[in-house]
Amino acid sequence: MPLPSRLYLIVDPLDTGRDPLTLAQAMLAGGARLLQLRLKHETETRRFLAHAAAIREVTAAAGATFVINDRADIAAAVRADGVHLGQDDLPIEAARRLLGPQALIGLSTHDEHQLDVAAHTSATYLSLGPIFSTTSKANPDPVVGIDRLATARQMVGRPLVAIGGITAATAASTLATGADAIAVISEIVRAPDVERATAELLESIA
């Protein structure tokens, strides 16, 4: 299943204090059509669910694909298009049973071994990173780099998403390795004008 966009934006306020719905609306206004809600520090399920439901409404209205990070239960509750899981989250096959055969299910990987293991699951797509140094995680995995991303592309027979430290300056060269999409967080959510930053990033990879 091909990804619906080469730009995969992650709605995560990080340290900005911005409202997730406001961020999502600005991203959509800038042309984004593939969004993931990631709220690592939201400990209350009710609040996470409320944010997810609100963003599901605006993504549906825009015809955009909407994925929830980590929480397959919330993805099911709001009828999101899928879930993105980490190495220590719910196993892929359990998420598949919960969300169904058509769900978009992604899995984070950080090295070649994890990619190889993931290739034997029903994950729709795999992400690899961090490609560059990143500030969106407190304890990031070691940097993968462009060369290993290019090698990984040859290993993976399904959509591959590059993530981690990608900026407008490196977006096109990262996609040139053969990655199907780039996932971007800080470059957009910390931008003074999220809508404009989204539009400019899309233009840079057109």
The 10s digit of each residue's pLDDT in 117-172 is 999 999 999 999 999 998 777 678 899 999 999 999 999 999 999 999 999 999 99
Q: How far is CA 81 from the centre of its chain?
A: 12
Average pLDDT over residues 2-30: 97
* Catalytic residue selected from 33, 38, 56, 96: 38
* Catalytic residue selected from 108, 127, 136, 186: 108
Residue 199 in this model has a pLDDT that exceeds 80: yes
Q: What is the pLDDT of residue 169?
A: 94
Q: What percent of the chain has pLDDT over 70?
A: 100
Q: Domains plus CATH for the chain?
A: 7-204 (3.20.20.70)
d(CA 168, CA 204): 7
Residue range 8-21, pLDDT digits in tens = 999 999 999 999 99
Q: Residue type at 134?
A: T
d(CA 45, CA 23): 20
Q: Is 108 a catalytic residue?
A: yes
Q: Is 38 a catalytic residue?
A: yes
d(CA 20, CA 72): 19
As given in the structure block, the two tokens for residue 163 are: 């993530």
Q: Is 137 a catalytic residue?
A: yes
d(CA 192, CA 196): 9
